Amino acid sequence: MSLGARRAVVAAALIAVLATAAACGDKGGEAGAPTPSASSSGPVLESSPQEPGESGEKPKGACEYLDVKAVNAAVGVDFKVVEPAEAENAQVCVMQTTKGSFPDFTLATAATKADKESFQATMMPEDADDVGKLGKAAYKVLLKAGEKSGPVAEIGWLSAKGRIFTIRFTSAEGVKKDDVEKVLDPLIALSKDIEKQVAG
């Protein structure tokens, strides 16, 4: 399994857990509780690499919501490798270049019973800012650089159709925070396009 595929699998597992955690904060109580199979053995994940623009291939996982050219235009990176992954309750799409682990782009989504209040309480980072006109609730946040990567731009929202979405762009090592901050608005626009697809 490639690095991108492993990253997609991990992201799928994480978003599934977060969606369940957010739902458990629901006023509905047990309605958001995980099933025994999900809590005991975890989701069964599948991952398979795709090349952008493969003819005759329907995008898999969360990749169905994305246009590679639109993502590249939003973040100013030419992604060549697309890795989808799916779990029982979660779908992920990871995009990478052929030159290294970073930069990368990840879209993760999972069904949830969370409401606006529980989403804001469990999913929004402390330093996040609200984003208007995106689902029931949404945030944007700029995260510090990692050990081998640059700063991270993240958008998260609770869809009007009962799904949690997160978009994360991780820049390459050495990229300045101010440059990554400029990506937030294009990512918000991309997120709103996805929400329109979900709403139908």
Query: pLDDT tens string for the chain (200 positions)?
Result: 444 444 554 555 455 556 655 656 543 333 333 333 333 233 333 444 455 554 446 777 899 999 999 999 999 999 999 999 887 788 999 999 999 889 999 999 999 999 999 999 999 999 999 999 999 999 999 999 999 999 999 999 999 999 999 999 999 999 999 999 999 999 999 999 999 999 88
Report pLDDT for 18: 60
φ and ψ of 20, to 5 deg: -70, -40
Question: Per-residue b/e over 19-51, b at no fewer than 16 CB within 10 Å?
Answer: bbbbbbbbeeeeebebeeebeeeebebebeebe
Q: DSSP string of the chain?
A: --HHHHHHHHHHHHHHHHHHHHHHTSTTGGGGPPPHHHHHH----EE--B-TT-TTPPP-GGGGG--HHHHHHHHT----EEEEEE-SSEEEEEEE-SS-S-SEEEEEEEE----HHHHHHHTS-TT-EE-SSSSSEEEEEEE---SSS--EEEEEEE-TTSEEEEEEEEPPTT--HHHHHTTHHHHHHHHHHHHHHHH-
| pTM listed for this prediction | 0.78
The C-alpha atoms of residue 120 and residue 134 are separated, in whole angstroms, by 13
Report pLDDT for 51: 52
Tokens at 28, concatenated: 């509905």
Report pLDDT for 26: 42
Q: What angle do CA 185, 187, 189 make, to 5 degrees?
A: 75
| Sequence letter at residue 178 | D
